Amino acid sequence: MAQATTTIRHIMSYQPHHGDWFASNQALFNQIASFYFAVIQAHIMVLDHPKKEALTILETLTHTTQRNPNPAMPLSDIAQDIPAYFRRAAIHAALGSAHSFHTHLQKWKQRKEKAIVKGKTFHERPPVPPRTWNKSVTLYQGMWKERSNKSIMIKVWTGVCWSWIKVRITGRELPSDVESGSPSLVRKGHQWWLHTPVEKQFQNPGKIATQVTTNPQTKICAIDLNINENLAVCTVQTVEGTILATKFIKGGKEISGFRKRQLGHIARNRSRTGIMAESQQDNTDLWKKIRQVDEQCAHRISARIVQFAQQHQATILVFEHLGNLKPAKGKYSRRGNSKRAYWMKGRIFTYTKYKAYTMGMLTSRVSPKNTSRECACCHHLIVRYHAGQPAEGYTSGAPLAFCPCCGMKGNADRNASLVIGQRLRERYDPQEKPQALRRVLKNTGVAVSQDAGCEEGPSILIAGHGDTNEHGTAQDALFRMDEHSSDIPHQLRFLF
């Protein structure tokens, strides 16, 4: 079984003074967590034990009971009458921090030793234990009850005593097919939220390689992300190459226009106010607006991609790797806009990946090299042009594509998305591998000049041919496929 975890957030409505209670509750929690961190530091071997045992050891060290009347470092010295599950949540928080700190420390020591062995000077400072504690309170069982979709009862430290209070919660319902974990009280600004982690169990989808090689009915959804109007172009194809569906997800112009206007406002405001103080955020509201719209757009697009893939029973999503950022030249708003459009592509990928995973779909990426220049039918270079223009040359970003070799005509972004899907299939199918084929041939050229007996390279190509003319065969295939690599046959010929 596979599992996916996500957090469901509910905003809480409560009386104004309850906000102060939540704050004192959190302060107490952190005081105890910090105390346990100190206990762990004093008994470092605790970290070698599994979580449950570590918890028992720490409780024996600190918690006074009839059987354990004199613990080494009593918790009662700093706080009285802490509910058991509040204490345990704090212990787990402290254990988490301690593990993290000691892992960092170990790594730092290793780096230092390495540097000393090499005779280099080592200036890096060692990691320090947390100076302040600001953990959110996790509510283990016993600290909350009577949870419904609208409200929850929680037990908090008011600063004076422990008290049960009822708070209203607003947000989406917890899905029914999931297992929910312990909720936590999270402060964001002046508002308190209830975060509930939920874990979904589902059938393990199986590795991409297995799916593609064993089941010819496997459906792949290939996605080409753009910064023009068609933000995402998705095509669903089977492993055998049948194209089943296409979807254009639009809205690029709108978001880009909006962003450009806001960046323009920021630029104008800046030119008016003159020099800014360093490390001081200007135009806070405008930046916030841009961030929120970008974020919302990335979520919307990714959700629609996953929805489309699910409609057509695709089990694998494939994207291309993001190329390097090529910022546009021009005004501040133009440069900033293209940078943000690029970041948004990355965000759409990340969000799609996790959303798809909870639906049992896996995500992969392929090389972005020439995906938009290659013909999906015959792999020759295509012509891109605007409607109403002659079909020749290559206008980057133009919407129409034409292949002079096979006569393919269509939308350039759709063609790119088909190529992306093909690349994934080619990865697992040695028969259908034009790119790798070229590489094999090139390697053969080099390998042959070093070692004439090398057979590894062309063996894929010459399956079914006799041994006598294997290099000749490779050479013919090469001429048919790729005229530009004419330097390679020379090497081959030279040797024979």
Residues that bind Zn ion (CB under 5 A): 375, 377-378, 403, 405-406, 408
∠ CA(388), CA(377), CA(304), 5° rounding? 75
Is beta strand 137-138 parallel, antiparallel or unpaired with respect to 409-411?
unpaired
C-beta of residue 61 within 8 angstroms of C-beta of residue 39: yes
Rounded Cα–Cα distance for residues 213 and 56 (Å): 49
Rounded Cα–Cα distance for residues 139 and 85 (Å): 8
Which residue number, 101 or 402, has a Cβ lying nearer to Zn ion?
Answer: 402
HEC readout, 253-295? HHHHHHHHHHHHHHHHHHHHHCCCCCCCCCCHHHHHHHHHHHH
Minimum distance of Zn ion from residue 240's CB (angstroms): 19
Which residue number, 237 or 444, has a Cβ lying nearer to Zn ion?
Answer: 237
Which residue number, 260 or 380, has a Cβ lying nearer to Zn ion?
Answer: 380
Which residue number, 67 or 484, has a Cβ lying nearer to Zn ion?
Answer: 484
Which residue number, 405 or 495, has a Cβ lying nearer to Zn ion?
Answer: 405
Minimum distance of Zn ion from residue 404's CB (angstroms): 8
Minimum distance of Zn ion from residue 440's CB (angstroms): 22
Rounded Cα–Cα distance for residues 227 and 340 (Å): 10
Rounded Cα–Cα distance for residues 314 and 235 (Å): 10
Minimum distance of Zn ion from residue 374's CB (angstroms): 9
Which residue number, 19 or 241, has a Cβ lying nearer to Zn ion?
Answer: 241
Which residue number, 391 or 408, has a Cβ lying nearer to Zn ion?
Answer: 408
Which residue's entry shows tokens 């034990």? 49
CA terminus-to-terminus distance, the chain: 57
Minimum distance of Zn ion from residue 411's CB (angstroms): 14
Minimum distance of Zn ion from residue 403's CB (angstroms): 3
Rounded Cα–Cα distance for residues 431 and 478 (Å): 15
Q: Record the tokens describing residue 230, joined without a space.
A: 């068609």
Q: How many CB atoms lie within 10 A of CB 140?
A: 19
Which residue number, 237 or 358, has a Cβ lying nearer to Zn ion?
Answer: 237
Residue 316: Cβ-neighbour burial (10 angstroms; 0-12, 13-18, 19+): buried
3-class secondary-structure state, position 399 = coil
Minimum distance of Zn ion from residue 428's CB (angstroms): 23
Q: How far is CA 252 from CA 110, 229, 344, in A?
A: 48, 4, 11
Minimum distance of Zn ion from residue 382's CB (angstroms): 7
